[in-house]
Structure 1
């Protein structure tokens, strides 16, 4: 399973925002993580579209979480950045080439598709059981707040 780099950046940003006492500018989030401001802005917009963060403008503007970090799962962030589509997409390879099976023999998912679907479900179940609040508990909140 390969996730985009934006997923990692977005999760880290959500952890920082969960510890912040006020909105954090996108440029500051980029500096904190040593990532491109432009690229991070795209991911912050995706988080906003998903209802995970709320942007605010003005002198004290920036980004803030829209809800309690205990209510935001890692899977919520993954879906916001990489979308809800499954990682594995069956192309019915069993109906191609020299070993092609006729369509009437392919009414149910093959063993490969079944195994991949089970693995994806386990992965999604695991990520849906972990929250931003749990991840925030693993970092030094005082140190984070001192830098933002």
Structure 2
């Protein structure tokens, strides 16, 4: 399938951190950027996209920041990917079969969809379905099981000190 933008990775990691915040707390975009070692302006662009998609909330003010807009089990990985990269199909058929020396003179030859397009769109549907079937809560569960205790503790200390 298509190559997802780097923003998808930043969005997934940021959403995962926000999923661990205590109820009513927020984390500044600057803090999320520092935690992930990315520039604040870069991450802010992606946080705005997540907020525009109603996946996170931006709380304004000097004590403001970001938090999830809904429970992690109600946010799919497809929601997060599409918020950053958009819902447009990865494969776009340009009907190149109708060009060049092999093109058919009779337009009736092209009444059915290109079989390459059909297979590519079916593969994309399978990819989207797989992402739709996984949630942010699944990532939380994976993190609890797979992230080593030292790393968990370091992130927890950072988030506790930075949350508002």
TM normalised by structure 2 equals 0.85
* Residue of structure 1 in register with 2:112 after alignment: 108
Note if contact 1:20-1:145 (Cα within 8 Å) is conserved in structure 2. no
Shift of 1:10: 0.3
Whether 1:5 and 2:6 are equivalent positions in the alignment is yes
TM-aligned CA distance change 1:103 to 1:48, over 3 Å: farther
State whether structure 2 residue 138 is matched by structure 1 residue 137.
Answer: no
- Match of residue 19 from structure 2: 18
RMSD: 1.4
Matches within 5 A, 1:56-95: 56-95=59-98
CA distance in 1, matches of 2:107, 2:11: 42
1:96 has 2:99 as partner = yes
In the TM superposition, what is the alpha-carbon distance from 1:73 to its structure 2 partner?
A: 0.3
Q: Could you list the runs of 5+ residues in structure 2 that have no partner in the other structure?
A: 160-164
Pairs aligned (count): 148
**Alpha-carbon separation, structure 1, partners of 2:131 and 2:158:** 28
- TM-score w.r.t. the length of structure 1 is 0.94
Three-state SS of the structure 2 residue aligned to 1:137 is helix
Task: State the structure with more CA Rg.
Answer: 2
Q: Is 1:118 aligned to 2:119, yes or no?
A: no
Q: Deviations over 1:32-60 (max 9, x none)?
A: 11111101101100001100010012232
Unaligned runs of 5+ in 1: none
CA offsets, 1:115-144, max 9 Å, x none? 101110000000001101110122249533
Residue equivalent to 1:146: 157
Q: Secondary structure at the match of 2:142?
A: coil
* 2:47 pairs with 1:44: yes
Query: Is contact 1:95-1:103 (8 Å) kept?
Result: no
Counterpart CA distance in 2 for 1:41 and 1:92 is: 38
Q: Distance in 1 between matches of 2:59 and 2:81?
A: 23
